[in-house]
Amino acid sequence: MDPVDFLQSDDLLSDEERAIGQSVRDYARAELAPHVSDWYESGTIPVEIARGLGKLGLLGMHLEGYGCANTTATAYGVACRELEAIDSGLRSLVSVQGSLAMFAIHHWGTEQHRQEWLPRMATGDAIGCFGLTEADAGSDPGSMRTHAKRDGDDWILNGSKMWITNGTIASVAIVWAQTDTGIRGFVVPTDSPGFKAHEIGRKLSLRASVTAELSLDDVRLPSSAVFPDVRGLKGPLSCLNEARYGILWGAVGAARACLCEALEYSLLRTQFGKPLAAFQLTQRKLADMSIAVANAALTAVQLGRLKDTHCITPEQISHGKLANVRSALEVARTARAVLGAAGITLDHSVMRHMNNLETVATYEGTEEMHTLSIGRALTGIAVFR
Amino acid 365 reads G
Cβ(201)–Cβ(43) under 8 Å? yes
| Annotation marks residue 364 as catalytic | yes
The neighbour count for residue 3, using CB atoms within 10 Å, is 14
Distance CA(177)–CA(173), nearest Å, equals 12
335: helix, coil or strand? helix
Distance CA(50)–CA(94), nearest Å, equals 8
Active-site pick, 84, 116, 213, 364: 364
Residue 202 CB contacts under 8 Å (≥ 6 apart), including other chains:
none
Q: Which of 138, 158, 137 is nearest to 149 (CA)?
A: 158
Residue 112 CB contacts under 8 Å (≥ 6 apart), including other chains:
224
44: helix, coil or strand? coil
Residue 121 Cα to chain centre, angstroms: 17
| Residues assigned a catalytic role | 364
